[in-house]
Copies of this chain bind each other. A is one copy, B any other.
């Protein structure tokens, strides 16, 4: 790892409050890897060998079973994945692939477990990280089971709008195909849902979206803090 990269890694939230010498030693054992788009970063069923931390890029986390596939989440810089498997020393329950060229900090599972036992601050960070991940997936389960696909799309648009400054205009951060997977629907359904939302002043041109009547959109979406609000 290069000196300036190391410097950046040291400041990761995950290491907050941790003894410096521990951080150093963990980082020495870790790899900062670059991956091209479409590469598989982890495969369901394999033993957890590294905790993955996204420094740069987008990663799709998904699971397969019996010729079907479902996207669980799409992660970006600052987020980690497969933490639970690492902590418990079990196999991955999900696979992950890079959606864009990515830089991933890979911390050996063994080291994670070791310092989890050894350093309160690190244990605390991991616990909080896990708790957040847990709540995120609960929200996703609710999103999937309590909403129609039209509602899921509407809420995603509202959330994305808020996230990007609430200007009413933003670009889709990935292909519609991927968005469809993220929202748990076939691409065809996403297409039809966008069409249906035109009635609520949602206009889409390629990847640029314009929400011209947020209130109308909220009425279809029925947003809920307990599903959509990342800070809740």
**What is the copy number of this chain in the assembly?**
2
Q: How large is the interface on A (under 10, 10 to 19, 20 to 34, 35 or more residues)?
A: 35 or more
CB distance from A113 to the nearest CB of B (A): 10
A130 within 8 A of B: yes
A145 within 8 A of B: yes
Sample of 8 more A-B contacts, CB < 8 Å, known A65-B226, A93-B135: A45-B226, A63-B146, A65-B146, A70-B146, A84-B131, A88-B128, A123-B127, A134-B137
| Interface class of chain A by DSSP | helix
Instruction: Enumerate chain B residues within 8 angstroms of A227, measured Cβ to Cβ.
Output: 65
Query: Could you tell me if B116 and A124 are in contact, using CB atoms closer than 8 angstroms?
Result: yes
- The docked-state distance in angstroms from the alpha carbon of A85 to that of B117 is 23
A222 within 8 A of B: yes
A90 within 8 A of B: yes
Instruction: Enumerate chain B residues within 8 angstroms of A90, measured Cβ to Cβ.
Output: 135, 232
Q: Mark A99-141, 1 if CB is under 8 A from B, else 0.
A: 0000000000000000011101001101110111111011111
Query: Could you tell me if B226 and A142 are in contact, using CB atoms closer than 8 angstroms?
Result: no
Could you write out 12 A-B pairs with CB less than 8 Å apart?
A: A65-B146, A65-B222, A65-B227, A66-B146, A70-B145, A83-B131, A84-B130, A87-B131, A88-B132, A93-B226, A130-B134, A144-B145
